Amino acid sequence: MKNSAFFTALSFYARVLAGVLAAIGIVSIIALQTGWLTLFSEADDRAPQSDALALNAEEPAVAANGYKVIMSQMIPVDSSLTYDISAEVRSIAPADVKNGLARTYLGVATFDKDRKEIRGGPGTYRYAGAINFRLYSDAGWRVLSGSITGEGDEAHTQFRPGTRYVRIVALLNYVSGDQQAETEDMTTEIRNVRFAPRLNMNSDK
């Protein structure tokens, strides 16, 4: 009788344990599928990285050998807002050139509501970020920055009247007249291009 009672109790606790393990398994499967629980292996690319790696990550640079115009995709804008534009650039001189010079422009091409390009006023483009910036190869990476807001034909810091879209544009290794010899063999790299509206903060609730 004692053995029978022992095996009956053992069987009962075994069923309880099996039920608990099954419940844990079901909850784990649901959590994995919903993203609440994530498993990482050492080789998993999604595994968390250190803050230092994330903070020091840089976008790949786009390089231009000799004169080149590069543009971004088309971006909708509200000309009543102020937009900040910036980029990191550096120039690389040929081995036989000491402290070579590359001239750089950074700005926007402007387009109307039908996405047709608008011209007129100062410049082929609106160079709100940099106009004829003298980029020397010994200087390393330099930050070009500026802002653009409102509509008008008086300055590069204004959108052209009717602007509803822009493309970010950079003129790398710009050449004009007697600059030909100093620029044609230069390489310029550009990275971390930024264009974004400023946020207006207020204390009203």
Tens digit of each residue's pLDDT (9 = 90 or more) over 71-113: 999 999 999 999 999 999 999 998 888 888 999 999 999 999 9
* CA-based radius of gyration for the chain: 30
Q: Report the distance separating Cα 110 and Cα 119, nearest Å.
A: 8
Residue 22's pLDDT is 62
Q: Report the distance separating Cα 73 and Cα 81, nearest Å.
A: 20
**Alpha-helix runs per DSSP H in the chain:** 2-34, 51-56, 180-183
Give 118's DSSP letter.
Answer: -
Q: For residue 134, which of 168, 190, 179, 83 has the smallest C-alpha distance?
A: 179
pTM of the model: 0.68
Residue scoring higher pLDDT (44 or 93): 93
Where residue 204 falls among pLDDT bands split at 50, 70, 90? low
CB 133, CB 91: distance < 8 Å: no
